[in-house]
A and B are shown apart, each in its own frame.
Chain A
Amino acid sequence: MTALQAGARARAGGLARIPAAAGAAIALVVFIAVWKLIVIISGYPPFILPAPELVAARFISAWADGTIAPHAFRTLYEVALGFGIGAGLALVVGYVLARLPLAERLLSPYLVAAQATPILALAPLLALWFGPGLTAKIVICALIVFFPVAIATMVGVRAVDARLLELARSLRATRWQIVTTLEIPAALPAIFGGLRVGVTLAVVGAIVGEWTGATRGLGVLVNIARGSLFDIPLLFATLLTIALLGIVLYGLVVLVERALVGAR
């Protein structure tokens, strides 16, 4: 091997081996730099596009003086309940869809129709039915989480190796033992694929739900900042909070996935 080849190989290996955290940091730096560049070149006023440092300062001050926190925790609460209920139901329904072909034939038209109808269009109706309180937000959240998790569970359970199922049967495993020791562990990677999609959608669901009428939540704060307060840096700081909420929840799901699946 020549020195040149060795160098090329080391570089390729080095690039491929960038850790996820470093990758995220690079992406963030590039994003902020481009943002700042647009502000400088375009000369837009701060109420159209505030500079990154302005948003950062407002983000810190709004968290410090308690402007964002109550809204953020409210949204987090809605997301946690909606995601928990939606994903929980989806696991059960996804399993039934996988194991009862008749159920899939009967239920899938409803599922696909519900999924194809934009949640934005459904939200006002759900608000009408469930009122302006917490329930409507949880229902919207759960609904939007349900589909990806149910489908991922169905696909994952269906893909369980029939030969392993026969093995379990030959060992006289009960129906419940087959579920817990074979089907769930085997379907776990697929299920987590659905949970990753679901948790980010849950944040969308909560914000959409808040727009249909609420007194608290990040979706409400977006409207206040743009409307009565006309505090555009606060609007950006709120958007940043929403994005961070999604990233943190997604990270949590990945961590749980690593603990359960990655150890294999």
Chain B
Amino acid sequence: MTATAPGRIALRGISVSFPAGRDDRLVALDGVDLVVEPGQIVALIGPNGSGKSTLLRVVAGLLAPDAGTASIDGRPIDGPDPRVGLVFQEPRLLPWRTTAANIAYPLELAGVARAERDARVATLLGTVGIEAAASQVPSQLSGGMRQRAALARTLALGPRVLLLDEPFSALDELTRERLNLELLAITARTPTTVVLVTHSVQEAIFLADRVVVLSARPGRVAADLRVSLPRPRSFGDLDAAVVSSTAHEIRAALGEAAA
């Protein structure tokens, strides 16, 4: 990885609070420092309400922090950025559009010509394995297919930084594993910086180079653990001794974080 490779996230002293009742504020994030190197995959794990989604919204430029600086490749984040793609916790598909039209939506907004749009959508449908659902509307899709359509929509603009908010939590085990592998393949093809929120220790270890544990509210970085599992990875690797010791460390940090 060269020093100029794009997609470096740098967060320093990020604090976010929300109004809560009269004259009171709920502190969601309290001085979070986090640097993610280009091409790195970081799993973000923490109790409910620890500010994981809030942190992704800061990086996506949807929420300005109360304090601290957030930048990508040295440029301060001052709004949504085409190089950053966010997959929300819910699929958020437009219910009146077909799957293909939903995936084409960001391309349409960006003014990509019809022919190129169609070609890219066809590729993306294949990438996430929902070609058969191309002309169906969201209400006809299973939860897993909707989430895959949402992933394809985010990939449409070819983001350098991919933010995933529990994207696979609604999926069955097999689909989840398939998409985990697909995600690793995508990031191997095009170097992409990934921050993935998950509740699964297994998934965190399988996908990530680093696992960052957030503490219960207010969210702070409680632990930052390296996963020393070589790539490319397969599900067989999950039996290795290193996995169980890493899992043990994560669970210990989570236990302290929740306390």
Cβ-defined contact, B80 with A170, below 8 A: yes
B82 within 8 A of A: yes
**A225 at interface by CB-CB < 8 Å:** no
**Distance in Å: Cβ of B16 to nearest Cβ of chain A:** 16
* In the complex, A164 has a CB within 8 A of chain B: yes
User: B52-93 interface mask toward A, CB cutoff 8 Å, 1 = contact, 0 = none?
Assistant: 000000001110000000000000000110100010101010
**A152-171: which have CB < 8 Å to B?**
163-164, 166-171
A173 to B80, CA, bound (A): 10
> Given A171-B80, A172-B109, are A264 and B94 neighbors across the interface (CB < 8 Å)?
no
Cβ–Cβ contact A264 & B109, under 8 A: no
Which of A19-27, A177-185, A198-206 sits within the interface?
A177-185
What residues of B have a CB within 8 angstroms of the CB of A186 in the complex? Answer: 96
Q: Which of A170, A177, A181, A185 has the largest number of chain B CB atoms within 10 A?
A: A170
| Closest Cβ–Cβ distance, residue B31 to chain A (whole Å) | 25
Q: What 0/1 pattern do residues 106 to 122 of B give for CB contact below 8 A with A?
A: 10111000000000000
Q: Which residues of B contact A164 (CB under 8 A)?
A: 92, 94
Task: Using A167-B88, A171-B105 as known contacts, say yes or no to A182 and B94 having CB atoms under 8 A apart.
Answer: yes
| Chain A neighbourhood of B126, CB < 8 A | none
Complex Cα gap A193–B184 (Å): 48
Q: Is the CB of A185 within 8 A of B60?
A: no
C-alpha spacing A255/B154, complex, angstroms: 36
The minimal Cβ–Cβ distance linking A97 to chain B, given in whole angstroms, is 23
B 201-252 contacts with A by CB, 8 A: none
In the bound complex, what is the Cα–Cα distance between A170 and B58 (angstroms)? 11
Chain B residues, Cβ within 8 Å of A185? 94, 96
Given the complex, which residues of B lie within 8 Å of A166, measured CB to CB?
62, 88, 92
CA distance A177 to B108 in the complex (A): 10
Partner of A170, one of B62, B95, B108, B137: B62
Interface pair B62/A181, CB less than 8 Å apart: no
Closest residue of B by beta carbon distance from A174: B109
A170 to B81, CA, bound (A): 8
If the complex has contacts A163-B92, A166-B62, are A181 and B108 also in contact, measured as CB distance less than 8 A?
yes
- Distance between Cα atoms of A172 and B82 in the complex (Å): 8
Q: Which of the listed residues B88, B90, B92, B95 has the most CB atoms from chain A within 10 Å of its own CB?
A: B92
Q: Cβ of A182: which chain B residues have Cβ within 8 Å of it?
A: 94
Across the interface, which residues of B come within 8 angstroms of A168, CB to CB?
Answer: 109
CA–CA, A166 to B88, complex, Å?
A: 10
Given A167-B88, A170-B62, A264 and B106 touching (CB < 8 A)?
no
Evaluate contact between A169 and B62: CB separation under 8 angstroms.
yes
B92 touches which one: A167, A174, A181 (CB < 8 A)?
A: A167
With known contacts A163-B88, A181-B108, A181-B109, A172–B95 Cβ distance under 8 A: no
Bound form: Cα–Cα A172–B60 in Å: 11
Report the minimum CB–CB distance from A58 to chain B (whole Å): 48
CA distance A177 to B80 in the complex (A): 15
B105 touching A181, Cβ below 8 Å: yes
Residue of B nearest to A261 (CB): B96
Interface centre among B62, B82, B96, B108 (most CB of A within 10 A): B96
Assuming the contacts A170-B62, A170-B80, A185-B94, asked whether A177 and B88 have C-beta atoms less than 8 A apart, the reply is: no
Assess the B109–A171 pair: CB atoms within 8 A. yes
How many whole Å from A174's CB to the nearest CB in chain B?
8
Are A177 and B109 in contact (CB-based, < 8 A)?
yes
Q: Is the CB of A169 within 8 A of B80?
A: yes
In the complex, which residues of chain A have a beta carbon less than 8 angstroms from the beta carbon of B80? 169-172
**Residues of chain B contacted by A181 (CB below 8 angstroms):** 94, 105, 108-109
Jot down 9 A-B pairs with beta carbons below 8 A, ordered by A. A164-B94, A169-B80, A170-B60, A171-B80, A172-B79, A172-B110, A174-B109, A181-B105, A181-B109
The interface of chain B, by Cβ under 8 A from chain A, is: 60-62, 79-80, 82, 86, 88, 90, 92, 94-96, 105-106, 108-110, 137, 157
Q: Which 5 A-B pairs have the closest CB atoms?
A: A167-B92, A171-B106, A264-B96, A172-B80, A173-B109
